[in-house]
A and B are shown apart, each in its own frame.
Chain A
């Protein structure tokens, strides 16, 4: 069933200092584009009392200071912004290239994925790099992207037993999703490769390489290139 873009935003109270604004009922590029447009407009001209705007798949959360504004006032501002034609003119998504070394020690599950999907390892790579994946939202851990657009041929279940410690940079697939683990963490995805980039570097001037709305382009690299970049990024 296709997701529906609401004619008018719907509001939900997430306690006494956050307002959730929904633009549709499911995971869908058009709905997410609307979320992205509204987030950009809000951030460009932050209403009084707004402390943070957090975009998600089909909704955004506005964190506000209850001493300075109310959900009612924020809803009015949002309706006015929506009527504004600029909502349609959001800049083109930025494409962020992410080099990935596929298979071998960096992608320990690529054999399992090949077995499950009936594809050869090199075919898996070709399919995985063929599209630019939109970042629908970032959450769960710092820099963790919820990406859309995984080819159906690569969809397969999670591992039965999650790994207890995946190295930062691991790239995997699970069900309809693909993504990267920005920090060492436990995880149940099927790992097919690893990026040498530091996806989350807290002490770097900009700790992140991307934001919600950008597109991720995976670029295959050889092991020597992985080691060279890894050295450069992490030393």
Chain B
């Protein structure tokens, strides 16, 4: 059913879900929400499966006219959403009614917000996912970001009997200085001398930060003298910190499948949402952890999600 009419799309608003794993061996990147935690919680708040399609909103948000009643929830970056000019808090549900106008102005902290709607955004499932991958024009709305005049549909789903909210203490705070924990490798052996400097330095997030990668600026990371400038092209993972010839690190993200530069370290899965929320100008510091630490932190994050699911079930019934 027709849900939203897009009056103003914002610079980069796309439909995303939790991405596609099935065609990585054919050069199709994972795609999906850059901050899967915020995406999952947004869906839980409106009573959806966690992998329902949401809008991923980057830095500045859209202006949308509501066509059908729906429960909506905005999570992730704090963007100061209003409905008919009344401020609406993030990380909770609100009923949107036909004729109302939703405005999502601009991120005050964080970089990407997620808007979930009852039933999920209705776009065709393509290669196992609804995620937009603009470079290959697949998924989402005709394989592109939203444009003015788009009519978005939602899938069938029941409206809530009362609004839900995430307890305050569980709402992530996005700082301007971001500590990212990382496991050395896969090519840490090419940086035997450079790696200590890398883990001690601070880097600024540049304007060149998109879904493919986040370029940093700071002290150059030096490869060992005998290590070649490039490696044999190999598959990459979100979180890989690639070091090109100029020594300025790039954190690879969900729209990259392979690369030929050495990667000094890899941001742990539990901290990838913090990369998604880093704004140009923010400061990033890398902290070395072991694989065992990374797996423990991943389990803790999964437990926290489970805690949120159980809390919502207990308080609101699901």
Interface of A toward B, CB cutoff 8 Å: 12-18, 20, 25-27, 39, 51-61, 63, 66-67, 70-71, 137-144, 146, 183, 185, 200, 202-203, 207-208, 211-212
Instruction: Please name all residues of chain B whose beta carbon is closer than 8 Å to the beta carbon of A203 when the two chains form the complex.
Output: 126
| Interface-central residue, A18, A27, A139, A212, by most chain B CB under 10 Å | A139
Chain B contacts with A in 112-161, Cβ cutoff 8 A: 126-127, 135-138
Q: Is the CB of A71 within 8 A of B235?
A: no
A selection of 15 A-B contacts at a CB cut-off of 8 Å is A13-B266, A14-B235, A14-B266, A15-B268, A16-B268, A26-B232, A61-B235, A61-B237, A66-B298, A66-B299, A67-B299, A67-B302, A137-B258, A139-B233, A202-B136
Q: Is the CB of B186 within 8 A of A12?
A: yes
**A56 CB → nearest B CB, Å:** 5
**Contacts beyond the supplied A15-B237, A142-B27, A183-B137: 20 A-B pairs with Cβ under 8 Å:** A12-B187, A13-B186, A14-B186, A14-B236, A16-B269, A16-B294, A25-B232, A52-B21, A61-B235, A63-B21, A63-B24, A66-B294, A67-B298, A138-B25, A142-B23, A142-B28, A143-B26, A185-B135, A202-B136, A208-B26
| Interface-central residue, A27, A67, A138, A212, by most chain B CB under 10 Å | A138
Instruction: Please measure, in the bound complex, the distance between the C-alpha atom of A193 and the C-alpha atom of B184, giving whole angstroms.
Output: 44
Question: Is B201 located at the chain interface by the 8 A CB criterion?
Answer: no
Instruction: Please measure, in the bound complex, the distance between the C-alpha atom of A233 and the C-alpha atom of B162, giving whole angstroms.
Output: 51
Instruction: Please name all residues of chain A whose beta carbon is closer than 8 Å to the beta carbon of B313 when the two chains form the complex.
Output: none
Instruction: Please measure, in the bound complex, the distance between the C-alpha atom of A66 and the C-alpha atom of B25, giving whole angstroms.
Output: 21
Instruction: Please measure, in the bound complex, the distance between the C-alpha atom of A60 and the C-alpha atom of B126, giving whole angstroms.
Output: 26
> Which label, helix, strand, loop or mixed, suits the secondary structure of the A interface?
loop
Instruction: Please name all residues of chain A whose beta carbon is closer than 8 Å to the beta carbon of B266 when the two chains form the complex.
Output: 13-16
Question: Is B173 located at the chain interface by the 8 A CB criterion?
Answer: no
Instruction: Please measure, in the bound complex, the distance between the C-alpha atom of A67 and the C-alpha atom of B297, giving whole angstroms.
Output: 11
Which residue from chain A places its CB closest to the CB of B270 in the assembled complex? A16
Which residue from chain A places its CB closest to the CB of B135 in the assembled complex? A141
Q: Is the CB of A211 within 8 A of B183?
A: no
Chain B contacts with A in 15-74, Cβ cutoff 8 A: 21-28
Q: Is the CB of B269 within 8 A of A17?
A: yes
Query: Contacts A15-B269, A57-B234 given: A20-B186 contact, CB under 8 Å?
Result: yes
Q: Is the CB of B183 within 8 A of A16?
A: yes
Q: Is the CB of B136 within 8 A of A183?
A: yes
**A163 CB → nearest B CB, Å:** 16
Q: Is the CB of A13 within 8 A of B21?
A: no
Query: Contacts A15-B268, A54-B24 given: A63-B186 contact, CB under 8 Å?
Result: no
| Interface-central residue, A17, A58, A208, A211, by most chain B CB under 10 Å | A17
Question: Is B267 located at the chain interface by the 8 A CB criterion?
Answer: yes
Which residue from chain B places its CB closest to the CB of A56 in the assembled complex? B234
Query: Contacts A141-B136, A202-B127 given: A14-B27 contact, CB under 8 Å?
Result: no
**A14 CB → nearest B CB, Å:** 5
Query: Contacts A16-B266, A185-B135, A211-B26 given: A56-B235 contact, CB under 8 Å?
Result: yes
Which residue from chain A places its CB closest to the CB of B299 in the assembled complex? A67
Instruction: Please name all residues of chain A whose beta carbon is closer than 8 Å to the beta carbon of B234 when the two chains form the complex.
Output: 20, 56-59, 61
| Interface-central residue, B136, B232, B239, by most chain A CB under 10 Å | B232
Query: Contacts A52-B21, A212-B25 given: A13-B233 contact, CB under 8 Å?
Result: no
Q: Is the CB of B25 within 8 A of A54?
A: yes
**B137 CB → nearest A CB, Å:** 7
Instruction: Please measure, in the bound complex, the distance between the C-alpha atom of A149 and the C-alpha atom of B263, giving whole angstroms.
Output: 28
Q: Is the CB of A141 within 8 A of B186?
A: no
Partner of A14, one of B22, B126, B240: B240
Instruction: Please name all residues of chain B whose beta carbon is closer than 8 Å to the beta carbon of A13 when the two chains form the complex.
Output: 183-186, 266, 291
Instruction: Please name all residues of chain B whose beta carbon is closer than 8 Å to the beta carbon of A143 when the two chains form the complex.
Output: 26-27
Q: Is the CB of B233 within 8 A of A137?
A: yes
Partner of B258, one of A15, A139, A142: A139
Instruction: Please measure, in the bound complex, the distance between the C-alpha atom of A21 and the C-alpha atom of B259, giving whole angstroms.
Output: 16
